[in-house]
Amino acid sequence: MNDMAWIDAALTSARPQAMAALLRYFHDLDTAEEAYQEACLRALRNWPRNGPPRDPAAWLIFVGRNAAIDQVRRRVRQQPLPEEAVLSDREDAEERAAEALDQSGYRDDILRLLFICCHPDLPATQQIELALRVVSGLTVREIAKAFLVGESAMEQRITRAKSKVGRAGVAFEAPGPAERAERLAAVAAMVYLLFNEGYSASSGEMPLRGPLCDEAIRLARLLLRLYPAEPEIMGLTALLLLQHARSAARFDAGGSAISLEEQDRSLWNAKMIAEGLALIDKAMRHRRPGPYLLQAAIAALHSRAASAEATDWQEIDVLYSMLERLSPSPVVTLNRAVATAKVHGADAALDMVEPLEEQLSGYFYFWGVKGRFLTDCGRHAEAREAFNRAISLANNAAEAAHIRAQLDLLAGEAANSPAVVRP
Amino acid sequence: MLYAILCYNQEDVVGSWTREEDDACMARLFKVEEKLARQGRLGPVARLLPTTAATTLRKGKGEPLVLDGPFAETKEQLLGFYLVDCDDLDAALDVARDLTAANPGTGSYEIRPLQLFHPGGAVK
């Protein structure tokens, strides 16, 4: 790694804190971004010569703030009647310079910066796009590539999202405990969505969208450093790490998805798993697991199993039942049914999923799972019907192929044992 | 004299390295380790999980407190340590210099003589 790569990495990791502080000074995303960019330009000139500063974020905040104020002064000379907010920024310049080096309050700054991107008026994908641009500092081109749209379309989307949050006005005072918890929950949800955007990519899209997963993990770790005692943030980070650890094993050479049970576990990333498990151990000490932590604990049971057969389905069933109580949803129940089938048999699982049909009848995975349960119960005609519905709802060729293989198995069984008569 | 060489660096920066950058750095560090090992001067070496995976036991007046997170909030985090047999501080500094050269960017190595040493057995 050469000097420039090192500076690049330092700038990237300092960005959230620097942007957050600059936003607090200027109360405006565009001004903060301009100030940050100016500071980065100066860093690129200055750091190779003088060596990187001990605290890159503080350096960027200080230089960015001064550069922006210079800019404002130049504008002020041309405009005799500047806005009051701009004037007050000038007057407080000295006091704020000292404040820039004081770290207190930076947690709230970063949380605010992230929270601004999670504005409820923005659709989920726009929240993510804005966070990638503003907080992570990905270029518009990189974001456009990850979302599989053109660069100019993405540019427009981000500009619109920015002006929307600009008009919305977010409180710049330090938030109270309840508000802070609310913000943290919204930001955690956004990070989770960001991860899923990357994770749900098919194999061909993986090289393009995989970076979204890395970025989500980076943001989750950032949140965890800011709030080291929040079990749900530990749970979120662990969940993302444990899922991402499997990425090398998720697709075969032909690009077809490989189910968890069939994955080559030696391809799982042991380092990420170790970190995820350590976080879960810490979080469980708090004894009040939330939805992220429960999901992480479920993922951990898969990660801990040396083989698919060694999976502790009983514990997974228990964890899913806790998750069902905390955040009930038909999809959670469907997932629980998979564990229930392993522990109590397909009949019990079928009883669980039948009431979900109304809500999940348009869901590929529902029909696939139901078909498997019916197969195991020996109700082959109904199983075929379920699998056929699954195929009609398949999102891609790989999903359809997976179900077709199940249908072939059914056909094979029927051919090999025509004499079986069920009571 | 045995010296522990403690590696300090910003874990978010180190954590943002790509797999290739990380592997390349580890390979360079391994060369330094190999030399010391050949001379019979290298004790256990560890690389630690991020501080976010740390738990601290803080001893107060009453029962010790279990706290989430690392012991102290600082700009740089302890990422690992070396245990090296050196004749004196200068020799330990030479080793640390080699490590600095192998490690990109900034970062510090804290060098501290040991009062107590348990060699430990072979661990997996």
CB A386 within 8 A of CB A371: yes
Chain B residue with the nearest C-alpha to that of A226 = B52
* Average pLDDT over every residue of A117-143: 89
Whether chain A has a CB inside 8 Å of the CB on B58: the answer is: no
B15–A218 C-beta distance less than 8 A? yes
Can you give the pLDDT at residue B74? 60
pLDDT exceeds cutoff 70 at A83 = no
pLDDT exceeds cutoff 90 at B84 = no
CA quadruple B81, A222, B71, A96: dihedral, nearest 10: 120
* Average pLDDT over every residue of A163-169: 81
* Average pLDDT over every residue of A62-87: 71
A51: left (phi > 0), else alpha (psi -120 to 50), else beta? left
Q: Which amino acid is residue A402, in one-letter code?
A: H
How far is residue A206 from each of residues A138, A197, A227, A255, A342, measured CA to CA in Å? 18, 11, 31, 10, 31
A225–B51 C-beta distance less than 8 A? yes
Chain A residue with the nearest C-alpha to that of B21 = A1
Can you give the pLDDT at residue B18? 80
CA distance B2 to chain A (A): 29
Chain B residue with the nearest C-alpha to that of A4 = B105
Pick from A171-180, A377-386, B1-10: least confident: A171-180
Can you give the pLDDT at residue A82? 47
**Nearest neighbour of A9 by CB, restricted to B16, B55, B69:** B16
A178 phi, psi to nearest 5 deg: -65, -45
**Nearest neighbour of B16 by CB, restricted to A13, A225, A279:** A13
Pick from A208-217, A291-300, A382-391: least confident: A208-217
Q: Which residue has the higher pLDDT, A174 or A282?
A: A282
A281 three-class SS: helix
ipTM of the complex: 0.70
A237–B68 C-beta distance less than 8 A? no
Whether chain A has a CB inside 8 Å of the CB on B74: the answer is: no
Q: Which residue has the higher pLDDT, A148 or A312?
A: A312
Q: Which residue has the higher pLDDT, B61 or A128?
A: A128
CA distance B54 to chain A (A): 8
- Quick one: which H or E segment has residue A328? none
Chain B residue with the nearest C-alpha to that of A48 = B105
- At residue A420 the predicted structure's pLDDT band, cuts being 50, 70 and 90, is very low
**Cα distance from N-terminal residue to C-terminal residue, chain B:** 27
Can you give the pLDDT at residue A296? 98
DSSP string computed for chain B: -EEEEEEEE-HHHHHTS-HHHHHHHHHHHHHHHHHHHHTT-EEEEEEPPPGGG-EEEE--SSSPEEEES-SS--SSEEEEEEEEE-SSHHHHHHHHHHHHHHS-S--EEEEEE-S---------
Q: What is the pTM of this model?
A: 0.82
Per the prediction, chain A carries an average pLDDT of: 86
A52–B105 C-beta distance less than 8 A? yes
Distance between CA B52 and CA A78 in Å, rounded? 50
pLDDT exceeds cutoff 50 at A84 = no
Q: What is the pLDDT of residues A183-214, one digit of tens each?
A: 899 999 999 999 998 888 777 777 778 889 99
- At residue A423 the predicted structure's pLDDT band, cuts being 50, 70 and 90, is very low
pLDDT exceeds cutoff 50 at A87 = no
Whether chain A has a CB inside 8 Å of the CB on B22: the answer is: no
Selected residues 49-68 of chain A with any CB under 8 Å from a CB in chain B = 51-52, 54-55
**Nearest neighbour of B52 by CB, restricted to A6, A12, A224:** A224
A246 three-class SS: coil
Residue A176 is classified by DSSP as P
- At residue B118 the predicted structure's pLDDT band, cuts being 50, 70 and 90, is low
Can you give the pLDDT at residue A381? 94
Distance between CA A183 and CA A189 in Å, rounded? 10
- At residue A294 the predicted structure's pLDDT band, cuts being 50, 70 and 90, is very high
How far is residue A291 from each of residues A232, A234, A294, B88, measured CA to CA in Å? 8, 11, 5, 54
Whether chain A has a CB inside 8 Å of the CB on B64: the answer is: no
Query: From the CB of residue A359, how many other CB atoms can be counted at a distance below 10 Å?
Result: 14
- At residue B124 the predicted structure's pLDDT band, cuts being 50, 70 and 90, is low
pLDDT exceeds cutoff 50 at A182 = yes
- At residue B52 the predicted structure's pLDDT band, cuts being 50, 70 and 90, is confident
Can you give the pLDDT at residue A85? 47
Q: Which residue has the higher pLDDT, B41 or A87?
A: B41
B104–A6 C-beta distance less than 8 A? yes
A9–B13 C-beta distance less than 8 A? yes
Pick from A43-57, A195-209, B73-87: least confident: B73-87
* Average pLDDT over every residue of A283-304: 94
Chain A residue with the nearest C-alpha to that of B16 = A9
Q: What is the pLDDT of residues A224-275, one digit of tens each?
A: 988 988 999 999 999 999 999 999 999 888 777 888 989 999 999 998 998 9
Whether chain B has a CB inside 8 Å of the CB on A218: the answer is: yes
pLDDT exceeds cutoff 80 at A150 = yes
How far is residue A296 from each of residues A51, A255, A282, A289, B112, measured CA to CA in Å? 41, 26, 12, 10, 39
Pairing of strands B2-9, B42-47: unpaired
How far is residue A368 from each of residues A139, A320, A357, B4, measured CA to CA in Å? 39, 19, 12, 57
A237–B52 C-beta distance less than 8 A? yes
The token duo for A339 is 């564990």
Q: Which residue has the higher pLDDT, A70 or A344?
A: A344
